[in-house]
A and B are shown apart, each in its own frame.
Chain A
Amino acid sequence: MAKFVALLASGVAYGAILMLVSLGFVVLFKATGIVNFAQGDLVTLGAFVAFWAGSSLGLPILATYVVAIVGLFFCGVIIERIAYVPLRKRPPIVVVIATLAVSVMIEGLIELWQGSSPKNLPSPVGTAVWHVAGANIAMQRVVIVIVSAVAVTAVLVIFKSTSIGRQVRALASDGETAQLYGVRTRAVSVGAFGVSASLAALAGVLVAPLSAIDVTFGFALMVNSFSAVVLGGFVSLEGTAAAALGIGIIQQVVGGYFLPGYSDTLPLIVMFVVIAVRPQGLFALRSSRL
């Protein structure tokens, strides 16, 4: 029982992190039709910016989080400027490869800036643990779940009931018509890149205290959150959020009990099966166009 509770807790926390990363993908995809392969490196960069703000500037922990989230918003804007704007008229897949190029550049910059030795980001709740049903759950996981829940709810509300949300949804369903109705595509795409990068930074600073951070630390998170995005069909925010939670739990609980060495592969296997059976995602309707 204790083992199950511990695994479930880490599964829910991991799912919450995946939720943030994959919502970043979906927000960007809805606004621009682009999948940003640098998302994983933005997670890493967010954690490193917070580490730098804490260790070099000596800011308190929460202030470092703000620095990371705001800083990454501007990183997202820069990525939009260098890797998306010049390629606006080219097919989306070219932009995807451009974001891959950006991802290598970010890795190179982090190595140059902070070196390749692993770093430790402090947790705002320290090493506190929560004893429940015989299991010791790191307080940080509780923080992760609460903060992610607030952030995800905020994103959902913004999407459902604000003007910006309606504009993005209009762009997602029919870009040309949305433009005819005066949706400012360019402003929306800048905002979407920024928000998506900020979500990555939030995921980065939340998950970093659980382990050491190095240059490749965001990549696995990104690959696993692809599974959630694919399950949600790249369009459904709620579907993606639910899928992220499910995948986190499956990976930790099923992987922890039955496949200890291979738990990292479970989200990928789930995703592969989904792509094979329903290439348009579980929560998306099929649409085709000549």
Chain B
Amino acid sequence: MTVPTDTPPAAHARRSGRTLSASVGNRSGTGPPVYREHRYLTWVVLFAVIAVAAPNLATGQADQLSLNVWLAYGIAGVGFYWVFGLAGRFAFCQTFMMAMGGYMSAWITLKLGPNWFLVGVLGAMAVTGAIAAVIGLILSRAQDFYFAIGTLAVSEVGTVILTHTTSFSGADGSTVGIAAPEIFGYAFNSYLQMFWLSLAVLAVVVLFAIFLERSPVRRHAIAGRENATVARSGGVPVVKVQVMLFAFGSMLGGVSGALLGSINSTVNVNSFGTSLAIGIFLMLFIGGIGSAWGPIVGAAFYVAIPQVLSSLAQYQKIVYGALLLAVIIAFPEGLVGALRNLAARLTHRRPPVEPGATLVERLSSVLPTGKRRENDAAAG
């Protein structure tokens, strides 16, 4: 009996008596993700580097604005990673959630005053989370395209409603004159101050993302997206996990929108259209769909491309589209995945196999039964 070369870890793990809970829908046969790495240190270093380097490098107003927009998009991107990357739900309404969060926060702070900013953000999270939970439950039986198109409908209808509700979202869906946010009496007036605020929010988001990565939710989500039927029969509450991640991810969209509203001091429904929706895909795919790192790296690229290629401003849409296409074709695991593989090759180590890191693994709903039997035989 031969063990297929690409599947030894599961076999070894089972032989050595280590328990691997529910190897559901795992194509590579390495078992579900076991959280081994302590990434806190990496993240702390990364944030320290950003905190030291970014304000010193970006001295001009325009650069600081781009930095803030990057952080805000990164937050929305992490949210979309939960929805699309982890839960495997092809949601088309993340930009609508951003718009909704922006309006909600702006409405609260315009009504109550800028020192209610935190309440505004909480309001943005509450409303986006609630909308997403309801939509997620209603569409819980809809798969891939149907979920995508259903959420596209939500997004389109919501946009039309937002342009009509003048008392909530301003004339023609444009709220202007959002004051600089204040927290406990401290006002974040300049772009630099907004940078610190956004960075702090992103840090909280990343901390929560790490908790989520370590929790059973991640395993349940992966099991559910790989093969919902098998996961369900294995006792995984698929709908609950998917709706929860959809709600959490949309809440981050809301937070991102609230920050963007404060950064730009306006919210306009037109700036959350299809281009930004494509942008969010771009962020996730450039960075890599298999980790929470990906969208943050990807958002940096998304914001930096127009700066670097400013002479090509008229080609911007073509560049974005071509880039997205090229990344999908050439780097299925995104830049983070490509770099990780390169590093592994340089150090002559096997690349760490993250189940679901590649899209092929991520979205296949059919188990290769032949290979699974081989694995079982190898294990037994």
Chain A residues with CB under 8 Å of chain B are 35, 82-83, 86-87, 89-94, 96-98, 100-109, 111-112, 219, 223, 226-227, 230, 234, 261-262, 264-265, 268-269, 271-272, 275-276, 279, 288-290
Contacts and interface: CB of A to CB of B under 8 A. Distances in A.
A105 B154 contact: no
Contacts of A261: 164
Interface of B: 90, 138-139, 141-150, 152-154, 156-157, 160-161, 164, 227, 229-230, 274-275, 278, 281, 285, 314-322, 324-325, 328-329, 332, 359-360, 362-364, 366-367
A104 B278 contact: yes
Contact of A290 (B142, B227, B281, B362): B227
Contacts of B278: 100-101, 104
Given A101-B321, A101-B324, A275-B142, A226 B152 contact: yes
B359 A276 contact: no
A288 B150 CA distance: 20
A111 B149 contact: no
A232 to B, nearest CB: 13
B35 to A, nearest CB: 26
A111 B153 CA distance: 26
Contacts of B362: 91
Chain A CB count within 10 A is highest, among B145, B230, B320, B364, for: B145
A229 to B, nearest CB: 8
**Chain B interface mostly:** helix
Nearest to B278: A104
Contact of A90 (B141, B160, B360, B366): B360
Contacts of B153: 223, 226-227, 268-269, 271-272, 275
20 contacts: A90-B359, A93-B144, A93-B148, A97-B328, A98-B325, A100-B278, A101-B325, A101-B328, A105-B322, A108-B316, A112-B318, A223-B152, A230-B146, A264-B156, A269-B153, A269-B157, A276-B139, A279-B146, A290-B227, A290-B230
Contacts of A290: 227, 229-230, 366-367
B325 A83 contact: yes
Contacts of B145: 35, 93, 96, 234
